Amino acid sequence: CSDAKASGTVSFPDLPAPGNYKALLLRNAGPPHDVLAVSEMFSIAEEPSNPFIYLERPDLMMAEPIEFTLECSDEDDWVAVVGVNDVQNNQLKGGLAKNWQYCCGSQDVNQCSGVVKGEKKNMGNTLPEGDYKLVVVKNGGAPYPTLAVSDVLHVAKPPEPATVTGTKTEVTMPGEMIKCRFDHAEAKVDDWVAIYPASTEPMHGTMPQGVADWDYLCNSQSVCSQPVTQGEVELNHDLTAGDYKCYVLTHSYGLIASSEAFKVKPPETSGECKSWCTTNGHTWTKKCGWKSCKGCADCASVASQSSAAFSMGRQTGPSVLTTTIEGGAANHGVVFDVEASVPVLILSFSAILGDAGGSDVTVKVYTKEGTYEGHEDNPGAWSEICSATVAPKGVTELTEIPDSACEPQDLIPDTTHSFYITVEGSQSALHLTPTIFPEGDVFARNSDFSVMIGKGVSGHFGKSYCNRQFNGAITYVPDGGLPSGQTTYPLGGDSKGVGSPDDPIDGTLGSDCYCGKSAACDEGQCGADDRCENEESS
C-alpha cells in the first residue's frame, strides 16, 4: 500500500472450497507472521445444485445403450427410466421404474463419492419398443420427488436385416435372365444389386470393383427416384459358366447382403441362328445362342434382317469397338488379346491418357500373333505398328492415335492376336480398370471380334500387373465393310464411365499386385492391407 490504513475492507473474489474459516490480520515481517487480530469463524457453503438431465440420443434401437448428461443434488440421488406419463405433480410412485441407477452410474451407493455435476453417463437398455423418459429422483420414500425430467426417449425395433436371394439355383446362359429378389427396409436411392463370382470375398466390408452385372434396386442403371425396399432385379448379361452370388451393395460398394451361390451353365444344345436383341433399361444388348432365346428374334426374322442388311450394301466408314471405360488404376502400358469372328483390318487405337500437364507424349503400339502370355517383358517378340506424339485429353475423353501413324493389321478369324500399347516417359499413364475376373475372359465384344482381359505393364516392357481391362477403342474395317453388331460387355460396365486423375499407378502406391510373385497374387486381388510380399515401389 502507498500509505498505512487504520481501517477498511478487503475483498477476496475467489472463494475457497466449502468449509469453515477465520480471517486473520497479520504483520508482514517475514514468517512466522505476527497475528494482530482474528475474526469469528464463518462458513462457505457449497453452491446449490440445479439438477438436469439431457438425452444424448433421443432415438434408439432396442438394446442400444441409453446415453445422457446429468447433474444431481446429492450423491444418493438416482436416475430412473419411466413411462412418458408416469411422473405426476413432480412425483414418481413406487414400482414404476423400468431401470434405475444412482447418479454416479452404479446401483451400489457405496460406489459413489461426491455429487455428480454435468457428467455424461450411460445405462443398459432392455426396454421394449415404446416411448419413455428419464428422471432424476430424490432418494427417500415413495412417492419420490423428481428433480429433473428428460425429453421423450423413443425406442424402436431394429430393422429386419436386408436379404437377397437368387430365384433359381441354376441358370442357363445364354438364354435365361438372372433374377435377384431382395428385402431391404433401410434402402437408399443409390443402393444396388450386383453379381459376382461366388468366390469373391469382401475386404473390410467392401466388395471389389469389376462386377459381372448390376442394376440399381429399381431395375435401372439410373439412380432410383425413391428408395425401393422390396422387389426383384432382372439381369441379362451372358456370364461364363461357374458359381455366382447376388449382392446388395451401397453406392460405395459396402456389403449389405449376399445370397446363396447359384450356378450358371451353358445350354446343352445350340442352334444355327444367332441374333441381337435389346433389353429394356439397359444400355447393352444380348446375343442369343439358340432359337428359343427368350425375348429375341427367331431364325426367320434374323434371316430377313440379314438379307436387308446385305441389300443396303457396305457401310461407308470404319467401325469402332469401344471397351469399358471405368478407370480404377493406371499403368504406362497394357497388353491384351483379341479374337476375330470375321476377317478384320485393324486401323488404329484410342486410349484414356492422364493429363501430362500440357505436354505432348509419345504413344506406341506393338503387336504379335498369338497370346501375349509369357512375352510381356520380351521386346524381341513384338513388332511396332504405331508411333505418334499426341496431346493427352485426360480421363474424361479418348485420346486418338491417328490412322496415319499406324500400319493396318489383318486379324484372321478364330485366331488370337495380341497388342501392347505403351506411353513413353513418365508424364502420363494409361488408365485401366482392375477386375476380379481372370485374364483371357472376354470383357468387350461385338459381332466382329472380342477383347480380352489383359495386364498392366510398368515402364517399357517392365513388370506386369494382374487382371487389367484396356480402357479405349479400336478402329477397324470388318470383312465386306458390313455394319457391325452393337458392342456388349459380358462382365459388366459400359463405355460411358471415366477414370479419375487419382487412379493409382501400379508400382507407385502399392495398391495392386503384379503377377507371378506370390500365390496371393493369382487373382489380382491383393490390396493395401495385404499386398504381395515381393511387391516393389518402382
**pLDDT, position 505:** 62
**pLDDT, position 212:** 82
pLDDT exceeds cutoff 80 at 535: no
Which of 198-202, 312-316, 411-415, 511-515 is predicted with the least confidence, judged by mean pLDDT?
A: 312-316
Mean pLDDT over each residue of the chain, to the nearest integer: 80
- Give 182-235 pLDDT, tens digit per residue: 999 999 999 999 999 999 999 888 998 878 888 899 988 788 999 999 999 988
Cα four-point dihedral sign 170, 215, 494, 306: positive
Three-class SS of 432-495:
EEECCCCCCCEEEECCCEEEECEEEECCCCCCEEEEEEECEEEEEEEHHHCCCCCCECCCCCCC
Which of 55-59, 303-307, 451-455 is predicted with the least confidence, judged by mean pLDDT?
A: 303-307
Lookup: cell for 12:
477476496
pLDDT exceeds cutoff 90 at 255: yes
Which 8-state DSSP code applies to residue 403? G
Query: How far is the C-alpha of 363 from the C-alpha of 425, rounded, in Å?
Result: 10
Domains observed in the chain: 52-156 (2.60.40.1930), 163-265 (2.60.40.1930), 275-311 (no CATH), 319-521 (2.60.120.820)
Q: Which residue has 488408365 as its cell numbers?
A: 431
Which has more confidence, 366 or 219? 366
pLDDT exceeds cutoff 50 at 296: no
**pLDDT, position 211:** 83
% of the chain beyond a pLDDT of 90: 45
Q: Which residue has 433389353 as its cell numbers?
A: 279
Q: What is the mean pLDDT of residues 431-437?
A: 87
pTM exceeding the 0.75 threshold for the entire prediction: no
Cα four-point dihedral sign 57, 58, 62, 67: positive
Q: How many CA atoms lie within 13 Å of 120's alpha carbon, on the beta-carbon side? A: 5
Q: What is the mean pLDDT of residues 228-251?
A: 89
409: enclosing H helix or E strand: strand 409-411
Which has more confidence, 259 or 434? 259
